[in-house]
Amino acid sequence: MENPRTAVLLGAGNRGMVVYGNYALKHPSKLKFVAIAEPIESRRRKFAALHHISPSNCFETGEQLLTNDRMADAAFICTTDRLHVAPTLRALELGYDVLLEKPIAHDLKGCVDILKKVEQTKKRLMVAHVLRYTNFFKTIHEVILSGKLGKVINITQRENVAWYHMAHSFVRGNWRNKEQSSPIILAKCCHDLDLLYWMIGSLPRKISSFGELSHFTKENAPIGAPNYCVEGCPREKDCIYNAQRIYVDIEPIIQIMRKSGKRGYQFLAFLRKKHPKMLEILSFGIKSLKELRYWRHWPVDHLYVNDPEDYSDEAKLRILQKSPYGRCVYYCDNNVPDHQTVDILFENGVTANLIFHGFSEREGRTLRIDGTRGTLIGNFFTSGEKIKLYDHLTGDKKIIYKASLTMEESSHGGGDYALIDEFLRTLQNNDSKQPLTNARESLESHLMAFAAEQSRLNHKIVDMSEYRNKADHY
């Protein structure tokens, strides 16, 4: 691209600041942000400074930004789940093409309203179902289309949320309470439901689901546990969810590096855990070591709202005295399940099983696809990726894809940047073709999530025609 596409950003949290913001900084010839709307002042100022945005184009709310005429080619909407609908509708009305974080909306009506507005305005809207854009899942999709598996009979997909991610995002964090965000089967697993729909290539016919909140309840709190970990918990030495262990000692990052299979990462993890003072000395001459010693990326970045400069251990401990991320995981206001299963029958006869749980030893997805001619088994972890293909005729096993851990800030197996590239290519085209993960295509995964939640709550099998009729009603 000779001239970068211009964009406004609504929401400078992890996705907005780190993923989309960093992409623009690394690829200034492709994308330039010209305005920002963010209610947290320190984030707004930081994003504006990084992207050289004038004060006149900095806003506290998306509503303020979107009262003006269209200021750019596209709007990147990265607000919290329940604040997606209004700014998306307004951005489309003003003539923006939109990249919208998933989920589309937290309820069915919001999803349908956005779809109708897209079709009315004929603007492009991409939903950030980033996994379709990874090499891993693109390879699996190509294998299915190639016929090497024969006719697909069943797909089992597991969303293995690591113990630390569950505690961070769905017990202490923004997605802990469905009344404040979305049902967890939508907020976390609409990726997985979208992948199943994409890979199977057929509409779902019936859905059933079971799940509940079993572990992160006050009944399971250690005797004498305080409301905040740093207040002196009697179990602080052996509680895996100890906030200091996660945010100061960065145990999640250390475990990811140890499981990477790369000796360099494993050695650095050893230094960070066992010899932080030595790592600190070495870091005076090596910037990357200083970043590891005073970690400021996920999940630590969520601690920082008002003081984003001091990343010392002492500063983090002070923040944990009052931050929601410092709370005992057994005394939070969380109400989303910590494990759930979904069984789906598709119109073409394929059955699928989705298993979500928050107690994995590492973060990632695993899946198994069984067909009439072959079996595919895939591991999509933060520590590495692998796809194995088994041929029923010959009995041969072949590794058809493999990738190792990288410590890039763009996550999701490279899908984040691939998604942005695809969005920008879509804008570059003169036709009105919608992106791969457009509103209508992505609606189906949301219908599946809403149906699964209804099934879980009401203990019934849901006929998907009911949900399509509801969508048509709106």
pLDDT of residue 442: 93
Residue 431 lies in a domain: no
Residue 250 lies in a domain: yes
- The 8-class DSSP code of residue 433 comes to P
Is residue 211 within 8 Å of residue 339, measured between CB atoms?
Answer: yes
Q: Determine the Cα–Cα distance for residues 339 and 212; give it in Å rounded to an integer.
A: 6
CATH of the domain at 113: 3.40.50.720
pLDDT of residue 115: 95
Residues 142, 99 share a domain? no
Residue 192 lies in a domain: yes
Write down which residue in 326, 361, 383 finishes a domain: 326
* Residues spanned by the domain of 275: 218-326
CA atoms 76, 78, 81, 87: torsion sign: negative
Residues 222, 82 share a domain? no
Residues 466, 347 share a domain? yes
Residue 432 lies in a domain: no
Residue 171 lies in a domain: yes
Residues 340, 261 share a domain? no
pLDDT of residue 220: 97
Residues 137, 125 share a domain? no
Residue 235 lies in a domain: yes
Structural domains of the chain, count: 3
Residues 46, 122 share a domain? yes
Residues 293, 271 share a domain? yes
CATH of the domain at 199: 3.30.360.10
Residue 157 lies in a domain: yes
Residues 121, 79 share a domain? yes
Residues 373, 449 share a domain? yes
Alpha helices (runs of H) in 249-389, residue ranges in sequence order? 251-258, 263-274, 276-283, 287-293, 313-320
Residue-level pLDDT, tens digit, the chain, 474 residues: 468 999 999 999 889 999 999 999 999 999 999 999 999 998 999 999 999 999 999 999 999 999 988 999 999 999 999 999 999 999 999 999 999 999 999 999 999 999 999 999 999 999 999 999 999 999 999 999 999 999 999 999 999 999 999 999 999 999 999 998 899 999 999 999 999 999 999 999 999 999 999 999 999 999 999 999 999 999 999 999 999 999 999 999 999 999 888 899 999 999 999 999 999 898 888 888 999 999 998 999 899 876 567 899 999 999 999 999 999 999 999 999 999 999 999 999 999 999 999 999 999 999 999 999 999 999 999 878 999 999 999 999 999 999 986 655 446 668 899 999 999 999 988 666 888 899 999 999 999 999 999 999 999 999 999 888 888 877
Residues 469, 343 share a domain? yes
Residue 421 lies in a domain: no
Write down which residue in 261, 294, 326 finishes a domain: 326
pLDDT of residue 139: 97
Residues 348, 468 share a domain? yes
Residues 242, 232 share a domain? yes
pLDDT of residue 1: 46
Which DSSP string corresponds to 216-266?
SSGGGSPTT--SBGGGT-TTTTT-TT-HHHHHTS-HHHHHHHHTTS-HHHH
Q: Identify the bridge partners of residue 398 per DSSP, sorted by sequence position.
A: 389
Chain segment 351-369, per-residue pLDDT in tens: 999 999 999 999 999 999 9
Closest CA to 35 of 12, 19, 57: 57
pLDDT of residue 405: 65
Six-digit token string for 421:
């590239």
Write down which residue in 99, 131, 163 finishes a domain: 131
Sequence-separated (6 or more) residues with CB below 8 Å from residue 102 = 127, 128, 129, 190, 191, 442
Sequence-separated (6 or more) residues with CB below 8 Å from residue 45 = 58
* Residue 344: burial class (beta carbons within 10 Å; 0-12, 13-18, 19+): buried
